[in-house]
Amino acid sequence: MKLSIDSERCIRCGRCVKVCPSLVFGQPAAHADVTVDAPENCIGCGHCVAACPVAAVEHGAFPAGTVHPVDRSLLPSPEELLLLCKARRSNRALSRKPVPAEYLDRILEAAHSAPTASNLQQVGYTVVTDPADLRFVIELTLEFCRRMLRLLEMPVVGAVVRRLVKGAGRYRRTLHRLIDEYDREGRDRVLRGAPALILIHAPAKSRFGAIDCQLAYQNASLMAEALGVSQIYTGFVLAASRGGRMKRLVRRFGIAGRVHAGMALGMPEFLFPNRIDKKPLDAVRR
């Protein structure tokens, strides 16, 4: 892979040296020539290319057309971004409208823009919109719920679980509701009738796959909020997709790896007109 410094363009500011996480570049003194000392260390993160103000870094992974200037006047202000974060909620009151394809594309693009450990970029996305596939996910989850409920209601085992797991009694009521409403009324309390589901996954052997997927989820969730799309974190689906059920899930959708995050998406019946304060911030400053 080509990696060099155009000495005629270079202004020797040293930015590429300072931002490189892999010690690829060297500069013996301020304003001295920048050298490419260890190109084999490069992870292709692009920090050097993005930091260079004069396009002096020539990187084979970023040819012409892949590097774009950032107009920072278009970025949201800190106040606007904070308001978006505070306004974001899991809105379970969904309409019957489908999520526009261009909205799904933007949500995926935002997710794909999230950082990954060592810039491996191994996060994958599976978008599920087929009703039969959505029903498969719902029923797989309810199968898990039924098993958990049987354990909780066993005289001995249930008592041990309730003693060890905080809030197990509350989950018992929730599991009953999920199962009963689906069996008696056909009401989906798993995906809440969402017409789209995004499963976020990484290779099974990826050491930081779970973290990478959660970072991608946060980007996707904020973009969904900005677009006015309801997003619901699929905690029960993730809990259900462990062990043998994970194998069935990935086999159904042709996923090579493990699912670490998921979001159900739908167009809301309404938007929340209010935001509510959280508990007081708990932060230790040393």
pLDDT at 281: 92
Which of 229, 268, 215, 9 shows the shortest CA–CA distance to 103?
A: 229
Tens-place pLDDT, residues 26-42: 999 999 999 999 999 99
Superfamily of domain 91-131+194-266: NADH Oxidase (3.40.109.10)
Contact 203, 256 (CB under 8 A): yes
- Which regions in the chain score pLDDT beneath 70? 158, 165, 167-168
pLDDT at 163: 73
What count of Cα atoms within 13 Å lies in the side-chain half-sphere of residue 266? 20
Place of tokens 């167009």: 267
CA angle 222/228/234 to nearest 5° reads 60
pLDDT at 157: 72
pLDDT at 37: 96
| Region 3-59: CATH code | 3.30.70.20
Report d(CA 246, CA 239) in Å as an integer: 10
Tens-place pLDDT, residues 94-136: 999 999 999 999 999 999 999 999 999 999 999 999 999 999 9
CA-atom Rg of the chain in angstroms: 24
Contact 47, 21 (CB under 8 A): yes
Instruction: Please report, as a single letter, which amino acid is at residue 208.
Output: F
For the chain, the farthest-separated pair of C-alpha atoms sits apart, in whole angstroms, at 79
